[in-house]
Copies of this chain bind each other. A is one copy, B any other.
Amino acid sequence: MRARDLVAQIPTIAVDAPVVEAAHLMVERDLPGLIVLDERGRPFTILPGTQVLRLAVPHYCQDDPALARVIDEAHADEFLRTLGGLTVRRALPDRPRELPVTDPDATVLEVAALMARTRSPLVAVVDAGRLLGAVTLNALMSRLVGA
């Protein structure tokens, strides 16, 4: 079995797209993150869902979540509606996470090793510069437990 046998289509998002669009995609497709394409359409990093949240939370609450308790319920709901015109680029960490990439001929062991090392729940499968899709942790784990 090779990466090509486990690959699935997964949605991508452009680095200059609105982060709200990314959030919608994650919710609708129940994904923990998305593959981000650079200005030239090449896959270059992952946008984890937790980083989208980061944009919606005031800085002083991120450092000390207990401070969020002092904001009353009505205002707390309001804070979460501030994503507005922010782009995916703004949601990325300062040092964007390495996108684990492999090719269609990679063995399952190779993909598993890459996921384990990068702690990424997905590995992009690229063939001659073209993004075929990704192998997800769940697809690989199903293989592992024979489900």
Contact = CB atoms under 8 A, between A and B. Distances in A.
Interface of A: 1-2, 20, 23-24, 26-28, 30, 32, 48-54, 56-57, 61-63, 65-69, 71, 73, 76-77, 79-81, 83, 102, 106-110, 112-117, 119-121, 137-138, 140-145, 147
Contacts of A65: 102, 110, 113-114, 117
A126 to B, nearest CB: 15
Nearest to A48: B119
Given A56-B112, A71-B109, A76-B109, 6 more contacts: A24-B145, A24-B147, A27-B147, A32-B137, A63-B117, A69-B107
A142 B119 CA distance: 25
Nearest to A117: B62
Copies in the complex: 2
Secondary structure call for the A interface: helix
B79 A109 contact: yes
19 contacts: A23-B145, A26-B138, A27-B142, A30-B30, A48-B119, A49-B137, A50-B119, A57-B112, A57-B113, A61-B109, A62-B116, A65-B113, A65-B114, A66-B110, A73-B107, A76-B109, A77-B109, A80-B143, A81-B144
